[in-house]
Amino acid sequence: MTMEQFVADLTREVRRRRYFIRLEILEQTASQVKARLFISQNLFVQVYRNARFQTTNFALIHNEQRIFARDQLAGTWHRHLHTHPDEHDSGEAGSTPITLGEFLDEVETVLSELDLP
């Protein structure tokens, strides 16, 4: 997937999910993208993709703290559950590859469980 395709996916997801108030592309090159999908000023999804190093980071950030995340490092995935955001879950469910859309579906569940907007 090219970075242009990745940004197109970001844009499509922001339009599809009406709770996002804005998409901010922080950095974009031919091999990487860093963006924030804002739900509110202090609640957003941060997305980072580096195609060259097979690195992807999807994180739900609330009040400057990661509360849920999925990371791919050198092609291998793990997750940070909202109940233990500083720990790595590398079990079967945690190591399953995930798309941006699937991560945002999980974010919606976490937001509901934590009673966040």
pLDDT at 20 over 80: yes
What pLDDT score was predicted for residue 1?
77
What pLDDT score was predicted for residue 111?
97
For residue 55, how many other CB atoms are within 10 A of its CB?
15
Q: Where are the domains of the chain?
A: 3-113
What pLDDT score was predicted for residue 2?
84
pLDDT tens digits along 38-63: 999 999 999 999 999 989 999 999 99
How far is residue 57 from each of residues 33, 47, 72, 75, 117, measured CA to CA in Å? 10, 6, 6, 11, 22
